[in-house]
């Protein structure tokens, strides 16, 4: 690390000591490192999800399952239900698997290499846990850090090709000591000051060293390839109501929204074998449609209400309507349920 790199890390850490965000999974600067369980849980939740969205889920999980052993002992259905609404449900399935593996080991491993072997723990999460929970020197790069480094060094290559250069430059400025605080400082800087739009350069502690600012408009960095349009899908969900209860099914464990409670549907996703289970015979009335955007596609889901008396054929359960918020429906089916209950009312 050069003298200039030392200046960057020292300056940023000094700024972080004064301006660190107060987050429920963090230790304040100067305090002992946080519990690896809390770091791991927060990092998994924060993947492609905002801090504001994660906070209530983190509080719910840590109050329900305060230790990794407690989470490991939980039924997967309970974990999936508690996760409902946070999205990217493979994270929840891996969360349960990882908790069981860590509990079996007796503790979290403390190196990046060993952490990467855990279910659902990739390069970024392993580096974050190693640095923040175990005070190992690790280079932690999320979207905020990526943006800060691209601007700091005026990196003009287009993403994703630029990531190799970004990582090399991040490696140069990551200090041997307090790398966890340094990583969190970079995250805070990107989140609150070096934002994607309208960066607050006058408030930035690294503005004097920022090559992107010297070159012109740092907001144009990092340079991203044009986004591809998402394919449009259509499907149907079925509302079967009886005596103050609605019929819910549990989706297959693999594929989209796997393992989650849901309304029966027509198999709109190929991961559900491309076909629907048999439905009761009788009249179906269309209540309307809801829209939902997944990472890979946009979906318009029509909601049909059953007006007959035949029992459902597929395996499922009658769920009380007055406790529907406890069913842990993923966002897509929660939208469909809201539409149906509004129409019923």
Q: What is the pLDDT of residue 99?
A: 98
160 lies in the same domain as 274: no
Cis (ω within 30 of 0) for the bond into 127?
Answer: no
254 lies in the same domain as 168: no
H or E element that contains 303: strand 298-306
143 lies in the same domain as 252: no
286 lies in the same domain as 263: yes
161 lies in the same domain as 98: yes
232 is catalytic: no
Q: CB–CB of 97/79 below 8 Å?
A: no
179 lies in the same domain as 35: yes
261 lies in the same domain as 174: no
Going by C-alpha positions, the residue among 44, 23, 45, 46 that lies closest to residue 34 is: 23
* Strand ranges (E), 105-204: 158-159
DSSP state of 226: P
213 lies in the same domain as 322: no
Confidence of residue 5 (pLDDT cuts 50, 70, 90): low
132 lies in the same domain as 272: no
Q: Which of 224, 241, 264 delimits the end of a domain?
A: 224
Query: How far are the Cα atoms of 96, 146, 334 from residue 265, in angstroms, in the given order?
Result: 26, 40, 13
Residue 292 has pLDDT above 80, yes or no: yes
Average pLDDT over residues 41-48: 95
Confidence of residue 269 (pLDDT cuts 50, 70, 90): low
Q: Which of 198, 224, 250 delimits the end of a domain?
A: 224
The catalytically annotated residue of 18, 31, 43, 283 is 43
21 lies in the same domain as 87: yes
The pLDDT tens digits of the residues spanning 60-88 come to 999 999 999 999 999 988 999 999 999 88
Q: Which of 203, 224, 245 delimits the end of a domain?
A: 224
Q: What is the pLDDT of residue 273?
A: 44
Rounded Cα distance, 270 and 332, in Å: 17
Q: What is the pLDDT of residue 277?
A: 60
Return the CATH number at 248.
3.90.79.10
Confidence of residue 3 (pLDDT cuts 50, 70, 90): low
Classify residue 165 by burial, with Cβ atoms within 10 Å: 0-12, 13-18, 19+.
middle
Domain enclosing residue 196, as ranges: 3-224
Domain count for the chain: 2
The pLDDT tens digits of the residues spanning 103-133 come to 999 999 999 999 999 999 999 999 999 999 9
Rounded Cα distance, 316 and 2, in Å: 63
214 lies in the same domain as 337: no
Backbone angles phi, psi at 171, to 5 degrees: -60, -40
Cis (ω within 30 of 0) for the bond into 160?
Answer: yes
203 lies in the same domain as 278: no
């Amino acid at each position: 690390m050069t003298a200039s790199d030392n200046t960057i890390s020292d300056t940023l850490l000094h700024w972080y000591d004064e301006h660190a965000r107060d987050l429920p999974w963090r230790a304040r600067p100067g305090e002992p490192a946080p519990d690896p369980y809390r770091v791991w849980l927060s990092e998994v939740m924060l993947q492609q999800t905002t801090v504001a969205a994660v906070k209530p889920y983190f509080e719910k999980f840590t109050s329900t399952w305060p230790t990794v052993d407690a989470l490991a002992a939980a039924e997967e259905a309970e974990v999936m239900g508690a996760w409902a609404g946070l999205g990217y449900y493979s994270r929840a399935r891996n969360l349960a698997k990882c908790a069981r593996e860590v509990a079996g080991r007796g503790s979290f491993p403390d190196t990046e290499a060993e952490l990467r072997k855990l279910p659902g723990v990739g390069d970024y999460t392993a580096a974050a846990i190693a640095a923040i929970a175990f005070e190992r020197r690790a280079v932690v790069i999320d979207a905020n850090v990526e943006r800060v480094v691209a601007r700091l060094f005026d990196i003009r290559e287009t993403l994703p090709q630029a990531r190799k250069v970004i990582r090399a430059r991040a490696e140069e400025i990551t200090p041997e000591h307090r790398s966890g605080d340094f990583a969190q400082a970079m995250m805070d800087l990107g989140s609150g000051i070096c934002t994607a739009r309208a960066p607050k350069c006058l408030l930035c502690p690294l503005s004097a060293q920022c090559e992107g600012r010297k070159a012109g408009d740092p907001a144009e960095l990092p340079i991203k390839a044009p986004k591809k349009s998402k394919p449009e899908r259509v499907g149907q969900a079925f509302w079967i109501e009886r005596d103050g209860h609605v019929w819910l099914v549990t989706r297959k464990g693999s594929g989209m929204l796997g393992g989650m409670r849901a309304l029966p549907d027509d198999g709109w996703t190929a991961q559900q074998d491309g076909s629907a289970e048999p439905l009761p015979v009788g009249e179906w009335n269309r209540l309307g449609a809801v829209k939902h955007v997944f990472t890979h596609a946009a979906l318009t889901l029509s909601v049909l209400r059953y007006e007959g008396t035949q029992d459902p054929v597929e395996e499922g359960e009658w769920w009380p309507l007055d406790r529907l918020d406890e069913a842990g429906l993923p966002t897509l089916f929660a939208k469909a349920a809201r539409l149906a209950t509004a129409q019923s009312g």
